[in-house]
Structures are given as C-alpha cells and as structure tokens.
Amino acid sequence: MSVYAILDVEVHDEEKYAEYKRQVPPIIEKYGGRYLVRGAPIMAIGDWKPSRIVILEFPDRDKLQAFVSSPEYQPVLKIRNEATTSNTIVVEGYEPGSESGTGR
C-alpha cells in the first residue's frame, strides 16, 4: 500500500536548501518515491501556518524506510537538517474495502 511522507519545512539557509533540493530527487526516485507536492503556495485554513509543504509518495513503508536509512541519503539529510527545521508524518494511502481509512 502506498505511503505518504508529509513534511512541514521551515528553511533557514536558502543556499544549503537549494543544494539539498538538487541532490535528493534521484535518491527518492531510486527507492520508488516521487514528489506530489514540492513547496507550492499554501492556503492555510484554521490556525496551522506551515512554512513549506512537501508530500512524497512511496510504494510502501519498506521503500520509504529504505530511502530514509540509505547510505546515499545520509549526507544529503545532513544538509537538510543544517538548512531547515521540519516536522514529518507518514500516512498510509486509502484503499476502499481495507481496514485503513475507517475514520479512527
């Protein structure tokens, strides 16, 4: 089942973050991931005021975990951590008839 990593990213160092954005796409693709949202303009409804939203889709949780823990991503992650403050959640996609997405 597809999983989605949803990130709220506050960029503190635009130059370093530009380097991260340049290096990370081929690594994401290597693990079957793809961008669904990458910093598009935000329309906030309610009190949440995110800085920059990124949404990644991976074929399954194992592929996402392989990406996050991969040796090639570690130095790129270091750049992101130096350039940003972020919060991330991971959610499974909805499949009609499955137990996920039942409103819990």
pLDDT at 38 over 60: yes
pLDDT (tens digit per residue) in 80-96: 999 999 999 999 999 88
Phi, psi of 85 (to 5 degrees): -120, 130
- Examine the pLDDT at 103 and tell me if it is beyond 70: no
CATH of segment(s) 3-92: 3.30.70.100
At residue 99, the pLDDT reads: 67
Report pLDDT for 100.
57
Residues 82/13, Cβ–Cβ less than 8 Å: yes
Residue 86 DSSP label: E
User: Hey, where are the domains in the chain?
Assistant: 3-92
User: What is the C-alpha separation between 66 and 68, in angstroms, rounded?
Assistant: 6
Cite the beta strand spans of 1-104 per DSSP E: 3-11, 34-38, 53-58, 84-92
The yes-or-no verdict on residue 26 having pLDDT over 70 is yes
- Tens of pLDDT, residue by residue over 53-76, are 999 999 999 999 999 999 999 999
Q: What is residue 101's predicted lDDT score, i.e. its pLDDT?
A: 55
